[in-house]
Amino acid sequence: AARSEDDAASTKDGGSEEAVTVTWCVFGDKKEDLDMVMEDLNKKLVEKINVKLNLEVIPQGEYNDKMRLKSTAGEDYDLVFTSNWLNSFSDNMSREAFLPIGDLLDEYGQDIKAAMPEWLLDVATVDGEVYAVPNQQIIARQLGVAIQKEYADKYGFDKTSLSDISELEPFLDQIVQNEPNMFPIDERVSPVFEKKYEDVVSASGGNGSTGVVVAVDKEDAEAKLLNGNEAVEEQLRKDNEWYQKGYIRKDIATVMDNTADVKANRYVCTLSSYKPGWDAEMTQRQGVEYIAVPIEGTYIKAQSGSETMTAINVNSKHPEEAMKLLNAVYTDPEIYNELVFGIEGEHYTKTDDNSIEPIEDSGYDFSAYAWMLGNQFNAFYLPGQEDGLWEATDTLNREAEVSPLRGFVFDPSNVQSELAQMSSVAKEYNNGQYTTDDIDAYIEERNEKMEQAGLQTVMDEVQRQIDEWRASAE
């Protein structure tokens, strides 16, 4: 229904107050039509919640330093992107840069809470108080394999799901025997490890699972800690076996970058994390048809969801309005889609109710960052994305098994030197498991060096922190 001017001005705050502007700091490439979109979007925001948005877009390479400076200088901005990999949530928590938002969520963000699974807020909860809102996108981890359809058809591979990665081996054997110019598989995750274990602490420098220091068995409800050596051994043996069988490219130990081969579709299979719509995405990106086959078992890790969150600056002058704005972006498809895709007719054309085609070089398109701006399940579908994709992804998230360590965050400060030494070992032994002629000797030597680097010390520290975390939750 049309609303009169008076309605628009009289907000539920009582009276016709001047709309407050909320500044939201995100990273990305600034779009030339940003001001045009903000002007149009702000008319809608003022009418709906009497709040305006100022989106401050900072290049990714500068984002960490800029946000640290803003925060230590006590600058007045409102919303901010934070995660476990950029503008680190734990770093911000240690300098008390974020506002606790539990009460604000209850009062102005009820729609956000209704839209997300209960466990999602755990990753942003510290000592019982919530400090950020995790965005919704694919959160559950599931193994999957994308296969070029031409070869699946040619060799009669017609499985729609696998219970274990070993079921792929007869197909890989056929590729080895009959397709000498192709690489059978691009292994982007460690399937044996991923299927069975969750990594709790890893040392940087490892590929796949090779840097894992502490793990838990996904089946163990008690979450008894296992040392990384024990947890990765089976994976290292499988890597060696696959290399010997010819599934893994012969020059694996020296290839620094396989991008050109990926682009040229030289890999018949790609082993990675599965998500609904992955087949369409691969087909769109690669230019040849792919099928995607999930491998049974979906899982939410202890820290899943911390990859993309939004917090409120502790120095914000308008925390209530900031939460109202976040609530609108998170739950109102009209607001969300304009923020992500721009203005209809100017930046995209609609192909049906929920699908759009971006206009090339139009001056505005944030779709590459849709996962950073609230709830991606409200997004229009792009070419290659099928209707129902977001519902399927939401279902996958909600039905996954949740880690018994959900919400636990390890603080590495007491074992920095041990982790640094273990990173060196992980680097030294990276990819060696493929090419070694004696996998037993390789594993024994690697394990010994990991132990000398301080594996047990790290295990003890993790156990101590988990015990404290459990005690404080009781």
Bridge partner list, 22: 53
Per-residue pLDDT tens digits for 247-304? 999 999 888 889 999 999 999 999 999 999 999 889 988 999 999 999 999 999 999 9
- pLDDT at position 116 is 96
CA atoms within 13 A on the CB side of 310: 26
Local confidence band at 433 (pLDDT 50, 70, 90 cut-offs): very high
74's CB contacts (< 8 A; 6+ apart) are: 315
Between 2 and 331, the higher pLDDT residue: 331
Give the residue, 334 or 211, on which the prediction is more confident.
334
When the pLDDT of each residue in the chain is averaged and rounded to a whole number, the result is: 93
Q: Could you tell me the two tokens for 389?
A: 């994709």
Kindly report, residue by residue over 71-108, the tens digit of the pLDDT: 999 999 999 999 989 999 988 998 999 999 999 999 99
The 3-class secondary structure across the chain, one letter per residue, is CCCCHHHHHCCCCCCCCCCEEEEEEEECCCCCCHHHHHHHHHHHHHHHHCEEEEEEEECHHHHHHHHHHHHHCCCCCCEEEEECCCCEHHHHHHCCCECCCHHHHHHHCHHHHHHCCHHHHHHHEECCEECCEECECCCCECEEEEEEHHHHHHCCCCCCCECCHHHHHHHHHHHHHHCCCCEEEEECCCHHHHHHEEEEEECCCCCCCCCEEEEEECCCCCCCEEEHHHHHHHHHHHHHHHHHHCCCCCCCCCCCCCHHHHHCCCEEEEEEECCCCHHHHHHHHHCCCEEEEEECCCEECCCCCCCCEEEEECCCCCHHHHHHHHHHHHHCHHHHHHHHHCCECCCEEEEECCEEEECCCCCCCCHHHHHHCCEHHHCCECCCCCCCHHHHHHHHHHHCEECCCCCCCCCHHHHHHHHHHHHHHHHHCCCHHHHCCCHHHHHHHHHHHHHHCCHHHHHHHHHHHHHHHHHHHC
| 55 DSSP β-pair partners | 24
Mean pLDDT of all residues in 355-361: 94
Looking at residue 143, what is its pLDDT?
Answer: 96
pLDDT in tens, 60-74: 999 999 999 999 999
At residue 13, the pLDDT reads: 47
pLDDT value at 369 more than 90:
yes
Match 């820290």 to its residue by tokens: 303
- Residue 34's contacts (CB-CB under 8 Å, 6 or more residues apart) are 55, 57, 364
The tokens 């001005």 sit on which residue? Answer: 9
**Percentage of the residues of the chain whose pLDDT score is greater than 90:** 87
239 contacts 248 by C-beta, under 8 angstroms: yes
Cα torsion at 222, 304, 118, 474 (round to 10°)?
40
The confidence score (pLDDT) of residue 9 equals: 42
In this prediction, residues 319-339 reach a mean pLDDT of 98
Query: Residue type for 56, please?
Result: E
Q: What number is the average pLDDT over the span 12-19? A: 65
Task: Look at residue 11 and tell me whether its pLDDT is greater than 70.
Answer: no
Among 302, 131, 102, which residue's Cα sits nearest to residue 214? Answer: 302
Of the listed ranges 1-5, 45-49, 359-363, 419-423, the one predicted with least confidence: 1-5
Instruction: Note the pLDDT of residue 69.
Output: 96
Q: How far apart are CA 471 and CA 127, in angstroms?
A: 11
Nearest one of 304, 331, 311, 307 to 119, comparing CA atoms: 304
Residue 136 pLDDT: 96
Q: In the numeric block, which tokens belong to residue 144?
A: 């999957």
What's the CA gap between 209 and 252, in Å, rounded? 16
**Does residue 57 contact residue 29 with C-beta atoms inside 8 Å?**
yes
Nearest to residue 411, comparing CAs of 468, 454, 474? 468
Q: What angle do CA 381, 384, 385 make, to 5 degrees?
A: 40
* Residue 438 in tokens: 């004696």
- Two tokens, residue 5: 């001017």
Tell me the residue length of the chain.
474
Q: Using one digit for the tens of pLDDT, what is the confidence trace for 228-246?
A: 999 999 999 999 999 999 9
232-246 burial, b at 16+ Cβ within 10 Å, e below that, comes to bbbbbbbbbebbeeb
pLDDT at 3: 37
> Residue 16's pLDDT is what?
62
Supply φ then ψ for residue 352, to 5 degrees. Answer: -160, -165
**Which pair of tokens denotes residue 226?**
């296992």
Distances (CA, A) of 189 to 143, 197, 388, 431: 8, 13, 27, 13
Q: Which of 12-16, 310-314, 453-457 has the lowest mean pLDDT?
A: 12-16
- Could you tell me whether strands 299-300 and 212-217 are parallel, antiparallel, or unpaired per DSSP bridges? unpaired
Contacts of 166 (CB under 8 A, 6+ apart): none
The β-bridge partners of 309 are 82, 134
* pLDDT (mean) for 216-226: 96
Average pLDDT over residues 198-226: 92
Residue 109 predicted with pLDDT over 80: yes
How is residue 274 written in tokens? 């599965």
